[in-house]
Amino acid sequence: MKTLKWIGLTLALLLLVVLVFVFYNHFRHFDESVTLSETHRTAAPGHFVRLSQGYTHYEIAGPDEGAVVVLVHGFSIPGVVWGDTFEALADAGFRVIRYDLYGRGYSDRPRVQYNHAVFVNQLIELLDALEIQDKVQLVGLSMGGAVTMHTAALHPERVQAVALIAPLHQPLQPPPMPERIGYYMISGFYVPGLRSSLEAEYLRPEQRSEMQAAYDAQMRFRGFTQALTSSFYAFTTEDHPSRYRATKEYDLPVMLIWGTRDTIVPYGQHEGVLTDANVVKFLTIDGAGHTPHLEQPDYVNDRLEYFLRRTLRNGH
């Protein structure tokens, strides 16, 4: 009995040490001291539109008559993560929209459960607010890939084609801890860790500055960490494969782009996407990581533009 008692005390002490370390890192890095307001929206680039869950920040470029392409970013870095892709597609004649998901960038941080319904409704409401009723083409990165496929499955009348870059496909396992503890883990480790990743050498100096400025700004607005935490627990764990399969049933054309050195969403996961979606073009980017459109922009943007144009010509 004494041995069991000592083991229990030791484990309890270790847990206490871990919690102290987590809380220490949270308070060391946590910087959400500002409430996103009209003053910030006035100073921000781009445009804002008020939707059912609050303001959504977006930017739009390209000719008014161009076919609409919407860029959906991933888990944490806002719309600026699209780098050259935004302007490249606009220069190619598309009407391109990039926007910040709720909880990110300059979009509002509603106090809701960040599940698929929140993200799908945001995208559909944004299209409605911009009076875009024709079918659009969606390009989704990482978690944004899952957002696009949920949207396409639930609103096939609004989506003409989809391009996915290292998309979230397999549901993530629910973290083995209460969401409140997960909040402090994300705040203390993930948020500052991702900020340091924006020092990547493949980014041009102006891209690095733009992304760092955008990331630093969103870190200051109250509700950022809560949005990430809720997204992790409520959305990434959902049944994404069923949405992929639903789009395959109506032959939605899909382009899949993946870097072979992706350590965030590993390259091997492409097999599941090939099985569950109607992938008409699979582009492997040798040597690229999680953001091949930033690492090899000219090649990826050229192939992406070709797919989007071909889809328009084929009348999907």
Instruction: State pLDDT tens for residues 8-65.
Output: 555 455 545 455 555 545 556 567 789 999 999 999 999 999 999 999 999 999 999 9
Q: Residue 119 contacts by C-beta under 8 Å, 6 or more apart in sequence?
A: 101, 102, 147, 150, 151, 235
- Residue 28 has a pLDDT of 64
More confident residue, 247 or 28: 247
Q: Are 252 and 245 in contact (CB under 8 A)?
A: no
Lowest model confidence (mean pLDDT) among 59-68, 116-125, 131-140, 170-179:
170-179
**pLDDT value at residue 32:** 78
Starting at the edge strand that comes first in sequence, how are the strands of the sheet with 159-165 ordered?
47-51, 54-61, 95-99, 68-72, 136-141, 159-165, 254-259, 279-285
Cβ neighbours of residue 152 under 8 Å, at least 6 residues apart?
Answer: 138, 159, 162, 243, 247, 252
Superfamily of domain 31-314: Alpha/Beta hydrolase fold, catalytic domain (3.40.50.1820)
Q: What is the pTM of this model?
A: 0.92
Interacting residues of 61 by C-beta distance below 8 A, sequence separation 6+: 86, 87, 90, 95, 96
pLDDT at 282: 98
CA 7 from centre of chain: 43
Q: Give me the pLDDT at residue 157, please.
A: 97
Give the residue from 209, 230, 213 showing the smallest Cα distance to 103. Answer: 230
DSSP element (H, E) containing 18? helix 2-29
Nearest CA-CA partner of 253 in 144, 139, 167: 139
Between these two residues, 219 and 112, which has the higher pLDDT value? Answer: 112
Rg of the chain over CA atoms, in angstroms?
Answer: 20
Q: Report the percent of the chain where pLDDT is more than 90.
A: 73
Q: Distance between terminal CA atoms of the chain?
A: 70
Instruction: Give me the pLDDT at residue 19, please.
Output: 52
